[in-house]
Amino acid sequence: MRKEKQKRPSRLYLDTDVYTAAVKRIEYLYDEFEEVIVSFSGGKDSTTVLNLALEVAEQKNRLPIKVLFIDQEAEWNMTIEYMRTIMYDPRVIPLWLQMPIIIFNATTSTDDPWLHCWAPGQTWMRDKDPISIKENIYGTNRFKKVFGHFVNQTYADKKVCSLTGIRGEESPGRILGLTSSPTYKWITWGSRTRNKNHFTFAPIYDWSYTDVWKTIHTHKWPYCRLYDELYKYGIPVLGMRVSSLHHEQAVKSLFYLQEIEFETWNKLIARLSGINSAGHLQDDFTNVHELPPVFRDWWEYRDYLLENLILNDEVRDKLKYAFQLTERRYKWDVQESLVKAQIKIILVNDYHGTKLDTWTSAGQNRRYAINTGKSSDKYSQEYL
């Protein structure tokens, strides 16, 4: 007898709107935690979380609130102008980190593919702000680790929660992680750090991007005006990014940076290698549309690029391991789409494997569509 296929669980809709639900979540967190920090990037999602937190903090007499921004130096000027507006708000305690850190430069695969942000003795894209934190005393220079190290060292003995603008709509894997199991008491929409008293929460995890923009405009909250410029330029709403100009998910910004912010473009090409090539090659820089005729297949081409473009042994070994692991995990579904995604990872120096994670989500969407006959998630090949 054929076993019946288990039904996919459906969403549970509450008898409330997303705005009210998010406010109640933040109110609860303020009651539970001694320190509340808003992790801020200048984007629409963190803008929403910031303003929700400001409203709750005012009601609970907890102003000013702490706002943390890790400045990657290679940022849009309009984003930095907006950041100054936020950080100089009297309702805010600015935690603006402009200190030496290293970030992978997705536009070059040289022997030293890092941007050494705010490194002493180098010519920065702009001067540091007077109110920023300028010295790195937090035990790491890696961008992805700075936030945790900063919070752990600054508030080591306190019960801390950080608020982030992460939304489940952006990835099936992300929504699974935010709804599967409790992180703190009954809350699933968060994570705990190595410090058992420090947590990160996503109070707008169930919002759509339309909820975000409607709320911003309804409440007349200030936001980064770069979004307006991107809209006028014709960038799709889901492809708009207002932070960092050179990492693996932002390379496309270089295709129009020189038209929207010419001065920033000039400073960036002087600061980083590979930027000018990426800006001029545009889509051809990150996409290979046809297999070069000298290679038998995409696998051989991928291995050639890995050996000849990635000159740093540590990075090459890391990528090789990630590729092998993914192929073993998806051995029943390893086709050209995966290998092409791996090639893009090599071309944009994706040290952290962000695009591989995106491919995984896209594969889940594709298989769901095939198995159910329903439309797959709208976030699929676009971001590969």
C-alpha 304 chain-centroid distance: 29
Which residues does residue 93 pair with via DSSP β-bridges, in sequence order? 66
Of 187-191, 234-238, 340-344, minimum mean pLDDT range: 340-344
Asked if residue 243 has pLDDT above 50, the reply is yes
User: pTM for this one?
Assistant: 0.74
- Stretch 204-225: mean pLDDT, rounded? 96
Asked if residue 357 has pLDDT above 80, the reply is no
Question: Which residues lie below 8 Å from residue 58, measured CB to CB, with a gap of 6+?
Answer: 91
Task: Read off the pLDDT band of 339 (50, 70, 90).
Answer: confident
Instruction: Give the pLDDT confidence score for residue 135 in this predicted structure.
Output: 96
Asked if residue 362 has pLDDT above 80, the reply is no
Instruction: Give the pLDDT confidence score for residue 359 in this predicted structure.
Output: 54
Query: Is 379:238 a contact under the CB 8 Å cutoff?
Result: yes
Residue 66 phi, psi (nearest 5): -85, 130
Percentage of the chain surpassing pLDDT 70?
Answer: 77
* Secondary structure of residue 148 in the 3-state scheme: helix
Instruction: Give the pLDDT confidence score for residue 159 in this predicted structure.
Output: 96
Asked if residue 97 has pLDDT above 90, the reply is yes
Task: Read off the pLDDT band of 66 (50, 70, 90).
Answer: very high
- Stretch 226-245: mean pLDDT, rounded? 89
Query: By CB neighbour count within 10 A (0-12 exposed, 13-18 middle, 19+ buried), where does 338 fall?
Result: buried
| 246-296 per-position pLDDT tens digit | 655 556 777 788 789 989 988 888 887 655 444 444 454 456 678 888 888
Task: Read off the pLDDT band of 365 (50, 70, 90).
Answer: very low
| 131-182 per-position pLDDT tens digit | 999 999 999 998 889 999 999 999 999 999 999 999 988 776 677 778 888 8
Longest dimension (CA), the chain: 73
Which has the closest alpha carbon to 352: 328, 379, 322, 324?
A: 322
- Stretch 355-372: mean pLDDT, rounded? 47
Q: Where are the domains of the chain?
A: 18-209, 298-383
Asked if residue 90 has pLDDT above 60, the reply is yes
Kindly report the average pLDDT of the chain as a whole number: 81
Asked if residue 82 has pLDDT above 80, the reply is yes
- Stretch 238-251: mean pLDDT, rounded? 74
Task: Read off the pLDDT band of 378 (50, 70, 90).
Answer: very low
- Stretch 15-25: mean pLDDT, rounded? 94
Specify the higher pLDDT residue, 311 or 229: 229
Asked if residue 106 has pLDDT above 70, the reply is no
Q: Which of 49-53, 121-125, 292-296 has the highest mean pLDDT?
A: 49-53
Torsion of CA 135, 139, 142, 145, to 10 degrees: -110
Asked if residue 361 has pLDDT above 70, the reply is no
Instruction: Give the pLDDT confidence score for residue 288 in this predicted structure.
Output: 67
> CATH topology for 18-209?
Rossmann fold (3.40.50)
Tokens linked to 357 = 């994670």
DSSP states of 166-205 as a string?
--GGG-HHHHHHTTSS-SBTTB-SEEE-SSTTEEEE-TTT
